[in-house]
Amino acid sequence: MKRRVVITGMGAITPLGVGLDRNWERICKGESGICRITNFDPSPFPCQIAGEIHDFNPVDFIDAKFAKRMDTFIQYAVATAMMAVEDSGLKMGNADAHRMGVFIGTVWGGIPAYDRGLKVLEEKGYKKISPFLIPSAIPNLAASQVAIHLKATGPNACSADACAAGAHAIGGSLKIIQRGDADVMIAGGAENITTPLILAALCNIKALSCRNQEPKKASRPFDRDRDGFILSEGAGLLVLEELNHALSRNARIYAEIGGYGMTSDAYHIVSPHPEGIEAARCMQIALDDAEIHLEEVDYINAHGTSTVYNDRSETLAIKKVFGKHAYNLAISSNKSMIGHLMGASGGVEAVFTVLTIYNGTVPPTINYENPDPDCDLNYIPNVAEKREVRAALSNSFGFGGVNGSILFKAFSG
């Protein structure tokens, strides 16, 4: 018998705002957090828009002295973890420190910190480089700083698996709890890479939308006129808890996490496999792991990047797995409103998937105006839908062909 694992707390920081309630309210209203870049002058770039965070103050969550020693992605992670733990009602008194772990995904870590360090090195020499540069920027410090702040001495890990990093962190945490190595895991993703260097690189890959005159309409997953994704930042973390541990403290349970799949396209360094073969197998593994029949799945939170190839291949993959039932599914892409949070996307989208199940409301895919004949499923266009969701998949597919799918289901005792 597998140990059952439930979700008892969540936190989110996205371009829609700080905090769970603010994010859920705005995403259900179909509001967009995409705007013209303000962190630097974007005018030299083909893409000049992004999903920035404008209302986050780290000292609301972290002592100012320690906040200065963290790159922003770490600040996001620590703040979101504190919100998630508070939401769960967990206290160290009812959770043994060595039975609580942290697993956080991020793609690049502290790119802004490295950029600042390189500038100092070039202008002032090596002696002026801060001794805090490395611990403020390396990817695993998000999970480590969360562990330090929570005094959680259980398993601690970082996933850097491109855009599937957050999903793999959650899926890995499920397995850690199932095999008995922890009772509680704080898991998800955090990212902050809206910098000139990363923007330039993604522009040259031709991955980004250039709809600069209409920022809020730029991310349009599954729409015929989509032209690329929107770079974003933020964090999404969940508290995963072994069922009996949660019941023993009368915790509020949002949903159960039942299955996890991971595969590799082994096809291309940036493009998904055009037939979605391994993305389909990834979803099937998650369904099998959860021992769920495909007809029980009511919703898929799609990876849905707003790129021509991803949206088409994901649609094909869904059809391969679900057959005729694919047309009964509600499918939507949070990225239409918050953009692509890269390593944090799997964490944030898992949060929204759980809230979809808990509240019985499916967020929309906004900017869906012109149907693409290759994308012919029900993408919940533009307006949220009230709907019972018994089980849901959250998909995350990344550069290099990494695929992750997580199966959540409504909790029943």
| Residue 47 a catalytic site member | no
Residues 208 and 398: their CA atoms lie apart, in Å, by: 15
Give the closest residue to 71 by CA, choosing from 104, 109, 39, 38. Answer: 109
Give the closest residue to 210 by CA, choosing from 28, 394, 379, 43. Answer: 43
* φ, ψ at 71 (rounded to 5°): -65, 165
Q: 163, 203, 282, 375: which is the annotated catalytic residue?
A: 163
| Residue 245 a catalytic site member | no
* φ, ψ at 70 (rounded to 5°): -120, 135
| Residue 340 a catalytic site member | yes
Give the closest residue to 46 by CA, choosing from 194, 202, 270. Answer: 202
Q: 149, 168, 273, 303: which is the annotated catalytic residue?
A: 303
Q: 149, 168, 273, 340: which is the annotated catalytic residue?
A: 340
Catalytic center residues: 163, 303, 340
